Amino acid sequence: MTKPLLTSRYGIEESWKLANAERAGAYAVAKQALTTRTPAELREQVKKANIRGRGGAGFPAGVKWGFLNRQEGEQIYLVINADESEPGTFKDRSIMDLDPHRLVEGAIISCFAIDAHVAYIYVRGELAFSVGRLEQAIAEAREAGYLGDRPFGIDHAIEVYVHSGAGAYICGEETALLNSLEGRRGEPRLKPPFPAVKGAFGMPTIVNNVETVASVPDIIEMGGDAWAALGRLPGDGGVRIYGVSGHVKNPGLFEAPVGITMRELIDDYAGGMLGGRPLKAVIPGGSSTPVLDPRRKIDAPNEDHPLHKWHGQSEIDVPMGVDTYRALGTMLGTCCAIVMDDTVNMVEACRNLMRFYKHESCGQCTPCREGTGWLVDVLDNLCNGRGKPEDVDLLVNISNNMMGNTICAFADGTAMPMLGMVQKFREEFMDAAIHGLPDGVRHDDSVRSMVEGGA
């Protein structure tokens, strides 16, 4: 049993108000950090914490901070990515709504640690409610003297501003986000230069996810090593917020150490499958992460293989970590799983996700703009009984031609789950290519009566 950290204040009445959050410990760490410790010390703790970025890519946050290399006359910016839009992901919103002061406190400590004076929180446009909560929290913190020209009385001005997006998944990509912050279309930039060298307004910039920044107060309070040790995997520290949606009894958010297994997440945390139906597939960390198939066993007889320890076990019995999941051929992503039972047709589920990517492609790069559309066209044909067996390989071919051929990782994030689906559920795609989908196929059977009510 561990005490909750990130979510420890969620249950407090009106937890978003300063007085209540402060009574439960908010800003104590920021005060101690700013008044008694040096930025270099704080950076060292975050590095030791082995915190892998919580936005999906899993890059070590401490290492990212180390990339900053300020030139004469430059100002460093902290940009907090709250554009949470990856299908299946809904964790950052809970931090902003239920404990905005944890994020503001994390932003204050982070700004001090990386020598930034301004932090922008880029919130997706749909979350007007979260924007309100954050702005209220920032105003309270400024009033209390935790922000402004002399936070906690020290000579290091810090301002935190909320910047609202306006509906574009691609703005979660850090350089698209920076363009959007600067008042432009949210189109990703060519890299290099990376944001740490040339980011917001041409200045060195650190872009971190909400949960990453919200973890900073705990890391500083406990010390990097102790926080890292909360996780169950080497090089991947701490606790994180897991999400589960889809066909489970209790969909929702759960705080747990890094390194629990998908089976634990579904059975122990989310209460098991809805209606006791069999688990067919699970998308582990947002729609861009290739699907897991519980029937598949780990094949790693070689002792050098990173997954050797789990040789012969199901894919869903591998601990959820950035590196273990990469070895598994998928990605940990945002740790928010979409669970599907045996009523789901994978071709239809795949079409649903590919429609999302088609809608959200920013259109700069031809392979992505056209490729996402072609994938949907081919899947439409399969679903509507107009497909041919060759179409299944066409999906693979289109995906392979998208990967690595574009400015940002969006095309890869589309192609990888597409390839994973075909690889693991090829027979279902072939079946659709030959027979089309069965009449009336739908993937909400297990809940339909609940949603339809008394029909």
Is residue 133 involved in binding another protein (CB under 8 A)?
Answer: yes
Say if residue 193 is preceded by a cis peptide, omega within 30 of 0. Answer: yes
Judged by CB under 8 A, which of 65, 112, 227, 254 binds another protein? 254
103 near 210, Cβ under 8 Å?
A: yes
| Subset of residues 93 to 132 that bind another protein, contact rule: CB under 8 A | 93-94, 97-98, 124-130
Is residue 67 involved in binding another protein (CB under 8 A)?
Answer: no
- Total binding residues toward another protein, as defined by CB under 8 A: 91
CB atoms within 10 A of CB 183: 7
Is residue 243 involved in binding another protein (CB under 8 A)?
Answer: yes
Judged by CB under 8 A, which of 150, 185, 295, 435 binds another protein? 185
Q: Which helix (H) or strand (E) holds 355?
A: helix 346-360
Q: Which helix (H) or strand (E) holds 123?
A: strand 116-123
Judged by CB under 8 A, which of 18, 141, 244, 332 binds another protein? 244
Beta strands in 247-352 (DSSP E): 252-257, 279-283, 336-341
| Subset of residues 299 to 328 that bind another protein, contact rule: CB under 8 A | none
Q: In the bound complex, what is the minimum distance in angstroms from residue 133's beta carbon to another protein?
A: 7
The encoded tokens of residue 193 equal: 């230069």
Q: In the bound complex, what is the minimum distance in angstroms from residue 73's beta carbon to another protein?
A: 13
273: which strand partners?
248
Judged by CB under 8 A, which of 140, 173, 211, 255 binds another protein? 255
For residues 4 and 146, what is the distance between their CA atoms, to the nearest angstrom? 25
The encoded tokens of residue 252 equal: 């929702």
Is residue 330 involved in binding another protein (CB under 8 A)?
Answer: no
Is residue 425 involved in binding another protein (CB under 8 A)?
Answer: no
Is residue 395 involved in binding another protein (CB under 8 A)?
Answer: no
Is residue 438 involved in binding another protein (CB under 8 A)?
Answer: no
230 near 212, Cβ under 8 Å?
A: no
Judged by CB under 8 A, which of 63, 67, 161, 435 binds another protein? 161
Q: Which is nearer to another protein, 176 or 197 (CB)?
A: 176
**32 exposure class (CB count in 10 Å sphere: 0-12, 13-18, 19+):** middle
For residues 158 and 337, what is the distance between their CA atoms, to the nearest angstrom? 36
Judged by CB under 8 A, which of 246, 284, 367, 387 binds another protein? 246
Only one of the segments 35-43, 179-187, 207-215, 297-305 lies at the binding site for another protein (rule: CB under 8 A); that segment is 179-187
Q: What residue type is assigned to position 236 of the chain?
A: D
Judged by CB under 8 A, which of 175, 261, 287, 314 binds another protein? 287
Is residue 338 involved in binding another protein (CB under 8 A)?
Answer: yes
Closest C-alpha to 98, from 266, 214, 177: 214
Is residue 201 involved in binding another protein (CB under 8 A)?
Answer: yes
The encoded tokens of residue 63 equal: 């290492």
Is residue 38 involved in binding another protein (CB under 8 A)?
Answer: no
CB atoms within 10 A of CB 450: 9
For residues 422 and 372, what is the distance between their CA atoms, to the nearest angstrom? 16
Residue tagged 């914490």 (tokens): 49
For residues 193 and 180, what is the distance between their CA atoms, to the nearest angstrom? 17
Is residue 344 involved in binding another protein (CB under 8 A)?
Answer: yes
Judged by CB under 8 A, which of 55, 186, 195, 231 binds another protein? 186
Three-class secondary structure of residue 228 per DSSP: helix
The encoded tokens of residue 92 equal: 């950052």
Is residue 272 involved in binding another protein (CB under 8 A)?
Answer: no
Q: Which is nearer to another protein, 45 or 330 (CB)?
A: 330
Only one of the segments 31-39, 188-196, 241-249, 290-298 lies at the binding site for another protein (rule: CB under 8 A); that segment is 241-249
Q: In the bound complex, what is the minimum distance in angstroms from residue 245's beta carbon to another protein?
A: 4
Is residue 89 involved in binding another protein (CB under 8 A)?
Answer: yes
Q: In the bound complex, what is the minimum distance in angstroms from residue 174's beta carbon to another protein?
A: 16
